[in-house]
Structure 1
């Protein structure tokens, strides 16, 4: 089994899971997207005003970088740089 490569070596892309604690943490998230990493942002545990401020700022920054963002759960957002495309799928009834 010495000839197996770890999965991460196959793809240069990363998804970073980000749990900010303050507004100052937003810069780290933006820098991750500038290096072409996708960001899974979880603000569910933050105070609602801070969470909304971070979401607005990071969604705006994502748009400015020509990326995409979408809410995937309560307080959980996917932010993608322009090299990724977010496709929304609806389950059939």
Structure 2
């Protein structure tokens, strides 16, 4: 079978802006007449308008802050009754620092266990800040740094089974 030569007049150029004379005649017979000059000008102006609008939209973009300021809660826990309000703050994605100095050992252990579970459920982290003081942070807060091992050994909760390695 011989190779066919493609006539350059039958090709569509630049998204259909130029149409061959044969296609124009066929379209005219069907009832769809194409007016070369007006159609091309109209299509080009529409493309220019859409490009201009697209550039304007990009120019008007502003970066908006995605997060509101984080409020840190400081709580001095005395009884297990307070653990629900602390957990509610954690649930609302507020980091909480809790001081357990005034709570008895068993109650403090139960509270830390409960709050650790709450933070774990929200993909957060727990970090011991000082003797008897813990930071409960949710996943929206990055906690950087660490208390050294000497401070941990001197901690108030040193004798508790849940703080031993």
Shorter-chain TM-score range = 0.7 to 0.9
TM-score by length of 2: 0.46
Alignment of 1:32-71 (within 5 A): 32-71=89-128
Alignment of 1:67-82 (within 5 A): 67-82=124-139
Shift of residue 21, structure 1, vs aligned partner: 2.2
Higher helix share: 2
Q: In the alignment, which of 127, 142, 159 is matched to residue 85 of structure 1? A: 142
Alignment partners' CA distance in 1, 2:118 and 2:143: 16
Whether contact under 8 Å (2:77, 2:102) holds in the other structure is no
Alignment partners' CA distance in 2, 1:63 and 1:22: 22
TM-score by length of 1: 0.78
What is the number of residues matched between the two proteins? Answer: 81
After superposing on structure 2, the runs of 4+ consecutive aligned residues of structure 1 that deviate more than 6 Å are none
RMSD of equivalent CA atoms: 1.7
Q: What runs of 5+ residues in structure 1 fail to find an aligned partner?
A: 1-10
Q: Of the two structures, which has the highest relative contact order with CA contacts closer than 8 Å and spacing of 6 or more?
A: 1
